Every structure is written in C-alpha cells, then in structure tokens.
Structure 1
Amino acid sequence: MASLQEFRVIYGKLLAQEKAKCNKHEHDLAAFQVFRERLCVEFDDRRYVGGVPGVHVGDVFDSDAELFLVGLHRKLQSRVDYINRNGGTTCLAVSIVSYAQQSVQNNNLDFLLHVGSVAATTGQKMEDISAGLEKIPISAINSISNEAPAPFFYISHIQYLGKYQLDPPSGCDCVGPCSDSQKCACVMKNGGKTPFRKTGGLLEEKPLIYECGPSCKCPPTCRNRVGQHGIAFRLQVFKTASMGWGVRSLDFIPTGRFVCEYIGELLDNEDAQERDNDEYLFLIGNNYYDVSRWDNLQKTIPSLRNGPGEEEENFFAVDALKCGNLARFINHSCTPNLFTQNVLYDHDNKGMPHIMLFACEDIQPLEPLSYDYNYTIDGVHDSEGNIKKKRCLCGSVECTGWLY
C-alpha cells in the first residue's frame, strides 16, 4: 500500500505538468517507469492463486499499472490474467478487471460479463446456439444451475409447409433507397409514408407493415428493409431465477429498433390443433381489425380498408417447439419492453405475416427482454376443452397475476 501511494504521487505530478500532453494510458506507463527507476523495483512474472495481502474485496484501482504494482494483475493491457495449465492447452483465470460504466444502469452484481481478451480465452469457446445461422452469435449462459436449454432445431427463417406455395409480391421500381413518394409502390402499400426512420427505428406500431422485398429494385440498404436483415444486437439466452430461460441484450437497444423475429414452423389452424404442446404456439394474422387497439389506424393501409379478405379466413400459427430461433425464450411481461409487429416482404398473404419484435422503450444492456403474450383470462383450453390456468411471474407492478 505504501508503494501504491508513492506511485499515485508520481502519477499526480506527471498529470499536473503542462508539458505532459499524452493520454491517461501514457501517463500510467510514464509514472510506472519513474516508479521502477526511483525505487529500483524488480517484478517477477509469477501468478498466484488466492488472496493478495493488503488487497480486499471492493478496493478500487485507477489503472492497470496500479493493479500490476500491488500484485493483483500481471497483465498491463489484458482484462483477464491467467495461468497456463497442462502444457499451455488450458488457462485458469486468476484475476478479472471489472469496469463500472455510468451508462449501464445495472445493479445486479451476481454475474460478470466478459467481452474481450482473446489470449485469456485460449482453449475456451463461447457457445453459439444458432450454430452460425445468425450473423451475430447467440450465446447462452446459466449462472444458477448446470441445466442447459432443452434441445431444439435452430432455424433463422420461417419454415412454410409444403402445401403453401407463396409467390413473391410485386415490388417497387425505385432506383435508389425508397422515400415518401407516390412513385414508390411499397410506400403506397404503407399508406403513403415510409414506416421506418433513417436510423432504422420504427416510427410507430401499425396493424401491418410492408417492407420492400425480392421483386423491388431498391438496394439492400433501403430504409424500408429492416426485419428481413435479421438480428443487429448481441442477444443472449440466460437462465432466470423464476421464469425458466429468458433473453437479454448485451447492447443498448434504442426505442423503435428491431430486435428479432419470432420464428418456427408455420401451421394452419387444423395442423396447430393437432399439436400436443402449445407452449410455443404464436397465433398470427388475427389482429388487423382490433378496433380497441388500432382505433381505425388500419384504414390508412389500403389492403386493410375493406376488411378481411379470403386469405384471412384461415387462421395460422407459428410453432417454435421443435424448431425455432432465440425468440422462443423471450418471456411474457405485463409491462413489456418489446411489441410485436406484423410485417410482409417475401409474399403478400396477410394471413401469414412475419412476427417482428421491436423495442417499445430504451432497453439497457443485460435488461431482460419481454413482450405481452396477449392471452385472455379463461381463453386458453386444453385438447379436451377444459380451461387452462397459469400464474404470471413477471413481477411487474402492473402484473395481473395470471398469464391466462
């Protein structure tokens, strides 16, 4: 501790010198070099497993150099210090540097999130449950037990039954990115306005959104292509204390940004009724004309003005039980931070929309993701017609107490 105090005096003098115009890291190294020369200090490179005399849990250090000086951390530019074991084939972490960031409003100290240091993770591999199907790997973690997620077949696109041959929709003739113009056919499908901001965020929740599709001449960078591009944030499946598995983001997600699609097998009502387990069934295409929800907003979309069409006579559902993506793990909440949005882009059948999940508020890193499952009390029945009951465990101050 006396050595640490001496180092801080040297560092303070260097920082106060007007001629020293280097950054903080350079000040650290300069002060450390002066400290070594002045006190003729020699350091060994050995790592130790166990406590360090004079250092206690909760102590705060201002730099990597201070950690090195007290013997707590022997890597000046690495966030994880480790010992090589078994001839260098495995590594044992002996010190992890934790950073407190004001932008991360998270008071849960039961876990640490490590996001760097390739050298320190040699021989270790972060599991990607999507097996490379997502452009951003989907990690899974369980800090509560040794349980792993139940096995399922990961897919990144809706699986349509063979009996449904869906034709691509007519597209726009825009040479560049689409904009609010009567010349853009896709903009006109959306009521004359592009539904997305230039930054990619959704302007408002709507009964139905038409994205530009495979027949459109606009480029892939068109602002009217959002959900079809897939996941844009680092998402993680994790074990919760009371609600099974859940999903959280490792990144900040601004309001209105696309998060993920609910993906699985697309079933008609007849096939859906034959499924014994309805835990992952998501009914789709049945809420376009909910007056209490949309307040006539559907009338601004040309394809919805005349009420349900023939393609909407049959009800469909997406079943993510056997095959699906990470959205199958997102939990319900009575005060959710996500909302579901019907989107069409690869076909025009309104009965089979893509279910896209968007952020309805700013979502902080490590905050659990949730949406309203929208069940009705006494509205869920088993195969014999009996009413099913399930308590809601979301913990929200507005929780109704029952999921259905």
Structure 2
Amino acid sequence: MPYVEYTRYDEPSKSPTETAQQIEEMRRQRAVAKKSTALSQPPPQPPNVVPVENILSRVVHYKPKNAVRPLRMVPHECGPQCRRSDVLPLKDLRTYNPLTKPLLSGWERQLIRYKANKIVMYRAPCGRRLRDMPELHRYLRLTGSDMAVDLFDFSPTTHCLAEFVLNNCIIGKKDLSHGKEMVPVPCVNYYDSSLPEFCSYNTERTPTAGVPLNLDPDFLCGCDCEDDCEDKSKCSCWKMTLEGARTIGMEGDVGYVYRRLPEPLPSGIYECNSRCKCRNTCLNRVAQHPLQLKLQVFKTDRRGWGIRALNDVPKGAFLCVYAGNLLTDATANLDGLNEGDEYLAELDYIEVVEAMKEDYEEDVPEALKENDQKTGSNESSEEEEESSEEEETKTKSSKDEDDEFRPSYVDVPLTFNKHLRTREKRKKEKQDNANVEIKKEKEKEIEKEVEKEEKKEIKKDADNENGDEDCITISDDEEVREPSRFSVQAGMDSKQLVSKHRSVRSYFGKDEACYIMDAKVQGNIGRYLNHSCCPNVFVQNVFVDTHDPRFPWVAFFASTHIRAGVELTWNYNYDVGSVPGKVLYCYCGANNCRGRLL
C-alpha cells in the first residue's frame, strides 16, 4: 500500500544582508513604471578626445643659453656708452621671436611678485631697472639704441620664451614667402599630403587696370619730429589722426600707444612716411614695417588653411597686412563670379567713416520721398476736421498764421501741415479766456497787455520764419521734422530733392565705387586668416604711402593677448543673405557662432 512519508527539510538560514537584498529586488520588480523624486544618476562621461594638435605638438619654454647678463648697477648717467658691444647686432636676430631679442642682447626680464600681484621690470645692459614703457622709451632714446619699444612687454601674462613646437606632420614647407619676408613663413599639414594652392607671394599691393593709385610722395604730409613723435600735438601726422578721430566723436589719446593699438580706430591712422624726418624707431611707424612675428600656416579639419602664432602675442601688437591685387568694383564682380570671391576684401573706409560722423544723413530713398509726398492725401478724417477749423480761425486772425512756402516753379505744391502749432494756440486762447472770467479787472488789463506783447513776438517770429530760406518747419500730429537745408535749382522736378550731404567718394568721379583687394592669385600671409564669430584679431585702416581715402592699408592687430599655438582669426563681417543663392556655413566653434557666413 502506497504511503507518503513526510520528511523534515531545514532550509539553510540566510543572513540578514541576503534577506534585505531579496526584499529590495522584489520591491524593484514593478508592473507599472512610476516616477521617482530620487536624484538621477549622471550619465557616463565619454572618453576625452584629445585634438590632433595636442597629440602632435606642445608649447616649450626655452631658456637662453650663454646669454649676456646685465652689469651690476653703479650710479651713472645713462648715454650711448651704456650700449653693449659684446652682443649680436639686432639685424642678426631677425628670425627670432621679437620679444626674445632684448633678452639675447644683454637685457633681463624680471617677474616680481608684490602683494599677490605680479609686476614686470626690465634690467638694461648697464644694470638700470625700468618699470614701464615711458621709462623704457626714455632710456632707448638716451642711449641711441636701435631697438623699438614694441620688442618689450610689461604684461605678466606674456611668456617671452614660450614657443609652439610641432612634433611631426605628413608634409610641410619651410617658407611660403620664398625669402620675401624677413621671417620665414612655414607651412604644415598633418591631415593629408596637400599644400596650399598656388599663389604668387607678394608683400605689397598691386594696382590693376582702372585703379588710379598715386604713390607720389609730393602729395604726402610729413613731419620734422626728433623725439620719435612722442608729442602728438606737434607731429603733423599725428594731428591728421586726431582730427579724423574728432569727426566721429572720439577724443583723448587715440591711436598707437607705444607702437601698439589697444582698440580699433574707425577714422583711420596716418603713419609717418618717407617725407618725415623721424627715425625708424618712431612711435608712429608700425604697419609699414615688414613681418616680425613668427607665424605658421597650417591645415584645419573643416576650414581650409589657417594661421597660428608660434609665440605669445601681446594685446595690440601688429601682426601683418592684407596684400593683393587692387581691382575695380566691376572687375571684382566679374572675377568673383568666374574664379570665386573668398579672397576679396572691400576698401569701404569712406562709407564706414561717413556713417559714423555726427549729424551725417544718407540720401533719402525714393520710397520715403513718395511717402512724404502722399502724406497730405492720406490724412485721416480727424485731421480734415481740424484743417477746416484752422481755415475758419485763419479768416478771423490771419496775422497770427504763417504763410505756406510754395515755390512757383514746382509743379506740385509742397503741403506742410501746421496742426500742432494751431492746436497749441487754440489751447492758449481757451486758457486765457478762462483766466479773464475768474480774475479781477486789474488782472484782466495786465493780461491783455501781456497778450499783446506775446502776439507781437509771435508775429515777429512768424515773419522771421517766412523770411528764412534755409529753414522750413514741417509739423504734423506725430512728429516735428526740421530739414536743415532745402536747395532749389532751376528746372528741378518736384520729386527731386538735393541732399545737403555729399559723399566724399562722389568727388572722385560720378561712377566712383569701392575698390577691392583680391588676394586669390597674388597675396601675402594675410590671405590665410580664417573667420571667427569670436575673433582675436581686428582690422585697421592705415595710411602710409598715400593719403587718398580710397586706398588705405588693411592691417591686422591682436585684440587680446594670444598664447603660443592659438589660431589667429578675424571677423569677415559678411551680411547673411547678401548673395542670393549662396550659403556659406561657419565652423568657427565659438560659443556665439552665428552658424552662417552668407
């Protein structure tokens, strides 16, 4: 007979930790997802992707070997005897970083920490310490040194001996300028084996057919300064720069500050030229000097070729100019359609300055002229009622009204609204009537006398306004506009208005337009500067070999301190949508990137 035998089975006892884990696992197994207020776990961080530039390059801080140190300071009067003769001449150091040239010529740069601050001082070869640019410039003049002040920098953030070094690359070229620059311009590519497209390297601009560039020095204004043009009030070249700055409302110390430009000057800078008697170390000779900084052309991943600084660049330092072929506007448009417009730069100095001048007005567009002429016919019903009331008032007191200015030779009479003036007079009359009823007889007599005097003054003002041919007051319900001048010519049509302001460019010819600098076929290192929505370089118009406002030099300056290895970029200032059917995206990578260039 079958039977069931019960046996006792004791499960192994679980530890409290295992029991708690089992309960927690059962709690997590839910049939319905529920929201939780618990803090979310941060996502796993992606592995740091090191750019190619950081893998193949580094910044090295050199230390000059066997450098001549300054002498021990002994009280003396500084003069030409303080110059050292046991150092290399400055011309033999042209391939070095400009900031290292003094350190190789017997100078010493000291970084002093004082109360949590850093101060830079220079020790001259004779042992004297110099604390700032004025002292340095005074010392260089006393000793007759051939060094300029832009070879020194008193900013503690600048590392004069730092240099960007590239470990290896796929292909490179030692000098793109082929010896035309004082400093070699190397070119590297670590993405592929391509080199920049062919370009005839030239450091000067070349005028083409139809460009009237006059470089005759007899048309220049020169100075006879002997103090390196330090006194701006006595230098004739500095005066031209200061007078131009006043036209746009800029006063004070503008332009170069010890051969550095801290901020752009839209009105332009007039440098000393071949007619000036000042030395080569003049404080007003900057952009005319050849390339001194060590720059490198390199291949970028998405933006073609670019330029980087191999050494630290102080703020306001001069970088290079933009050279190429000077073209007329018509030629540039034709070449741009056939060969591309990526290297075209417009010389619009005149238009930029005129737009910034105080009280400058552009010519009124034709659309606005038509709207102004249609103002009288498009008035509202309220304005018509007010005009009828004005006519009634005009019949009662014709002496208080101003006659309308209606030239007999204009086909359609110009309609001027005077609602605002009449309304003010009506309000004044009502107030006077109310005061007459309230006040006493004596006050009435006084008020009548006052009213008579006011009417006489109003009549005189009206007569003066009618007699003034250069000023017409136009009033309506919304705004009061007073044209500064209205010139009338014989046979002038009613739709033609003569503007008071005339562009300077129109004085050079009827069909004169902006000239274009094209660096596609011929140019210098400036053609490789890329665009950025957050640039570290700004452009400045400079006049050197001509004072013709149509042909300024296009010079580039550092807008901030640039460390070694950083790419140099400037803002192209393209108008998005200005070229129909052409879209150009921006890959600068800045936080404020617009996304598009065109």
Q: Give the alignment's TM-score, normalised by structure 2.
A: 0.43
Residue 265 of structure 2 corresponds to which residue in structure 1? Answer: 206
Post-superposition offset of 1:159? 1.1
Q: Kindly indicate whether residue 540 of structure 2 is the aligned counterpart of residue 341 of structure 1.
A: yes
Deviation at 1:388, TM superposition (A): 1.3
Displacement of 1:287: 6.0
Asked whether the equivalents of residues 158 and 314 of structure 2 are also in contact (C-alpha less than 8 Å), the reply is: no
Matches within 5 A, 1:160-309: 160-161=207-208, 164-166=212-214, 167-168=216-217, 169-191=220-242, 195-198=255-258, 200-207=259-266, 208-275=268-335, 276=338, 277-286=340-349, 288-289=351-352, 308-309=504-505
- In the TM superposition, structure 1's runs of 4+ consecutive aligned residues that sit over 6 Å from their partners are none
> In 1, are the aligned partners of 2:310 and 2:565 still within 8 Å (CA)?
yes
Question: For the aligned residues, what is the CA RMSD?
Answer: 3.0
CA distance in 2, matches of 1:212, 1:104: 29
Partner of 2:196: 149
Q: Offset at 1:239?
A: 0.4
Q: Aligned to 1:170, what secondary structure does the other structure show?
A: coil
Q: Does 1:130 align with 2:177?
A: yes
Q: Is the 8 A contact 1:311 1:349 kept in 2?
A: no
Instruction: Quote the offset at 1:184 in angstroms.
Output: 1.3
- The alpha carbon displacement at 1:126 in A equals 5.6
Amino acid at match of 2:504: P
Greater RCO, 1 or 2 (C-alpha within 8 Å, sep 6+): 2
Taking the aligned partners of 2:503 and 2:277, their CA distance within structure 1 comes to 30
Question: Does structure 1 retain, via aligned residues, the 8 Å contact 2:209–2:327?
Answer: no
Identity, % of aligned pairs? Answer: 35
Instruction: Indicate how the Cα distance of structure 1 residues 328 and 165 shifts in structure 2: closer, same or farther if over 3 A, else same.
Output: closer
- The yes-or-no answer on 1:139 pairing with 2:189 is no
SS in 2 for 1:283: strand
Q: Does residue 596 of structure 2 align to residue 402 of structure 1?
A: yes
Q: Residue type of the partner of 1:134?
A: E
Question: What are the ranges of 5 or more consecutive residues in structure 1 without an aligned counterpart?
Answer: 1-102, 106-110, 116-124, 299-304, 381-385
User: For the structure 1 residues 350 and 145, does the alpha-carbon distance in structure 2 shift closer, same or farther, using more than 3 Å as the test?
Assistant: same
Cα distance change on mapping 1:162 and 1:174 into 2, 3 Å: farther
Match in the other structure for 1:389: 583
Distance 1:306 1:219 in 2: 39
Distance 2:333 2:592 in 1: 32
Give the aligned partner of residue 568 of structure 2. 369
Q: Helix, strand or coil for the counterpart of 2:563?
A: coil
The code of the aligned residue for 2:225 comes to C
SS in 2 for 1:335: coil
* Letter aligned with residue 173 of structure 1: D
1:256 and 1:157 mapped to 2: Cα distance?
23
- CA–CA distance in structure 1, aligned partners of residues 176 and 358 of structure 2: 41
**Residues in 2 aligned to 1:359 and 1:398: alpha-carbon distance in whole angstroms:** 20
The structure-2 alpha-carbon separation of the partners of 1:177 and 1:400, relative to structure 1 and needing over 3 Å to count, comes to: same
Q: How far has the Cα of 1:316 moved from its partner?
A: 0.6
| Contact 1:285/1:353 (8 A) holds in 2 | no
Aligned residue for 2:331, secondary structure, equals helix
Q: 1:180 to 1:162 in 2, by over 3 A?
A: farther
Which residues of structure 2 form unaligned runs of 5+?
Answer: 1-156, 244-252, 361-500
**Corresponding position: 1:159 with 2:222:** no
Q: Letter of the 2:557 partner, please give it.
A: F
1:358 to 539, 557, 563: 557
Following the alignment from structure 1 to structure 2, what is the Cα–Cα distance between the partners of residues 175 and 104? 31
Q: In structure 2, how many angstroms separate the alpha carbons of the residues matched to 1:170 and 1:290?
A: 21
SS at match of 1:227: coil
Q: 1:180: how far off?
A: 3.0
Letter in 1 for 2:533: C
Q: Does 1:113 pair with 2:166? A: yes
| In 1, Cα distance between equivalents of 2:341 and 2:167 | 36
Larger CA Rg, structure 1 vs 2: 2
In the superposition, relative to structure 1, how do residues 189 and 219 fare at CA in structure 2: closer, same or farther (>3 Å)?
Answer: same
Aligned residues: 277
Q: What SS does structure 1 have at the residue aligned with 2:567?
A: coil
Q: Answer whether contact 2:263 2:559 (CA < 8 A) is retained.
A: no
Amino acid in structure 2 at the alignment position of 1:171 = G
Q: CA deviation at 1:228?
A: 0.6
CA apart distance, 1:352: 1.1
Give the TM-score taking structure 1 as reference length: 0.63
Shift of 1:335: 0.3
* Aligned mates of 1:269, 1:326 — CA distance in 2: 24
Deviation, 1:306, is: 8.7
Contact 1:341 1:358 in 2 (8 A): yes
Q: What's 2:62 paired with?
A: none
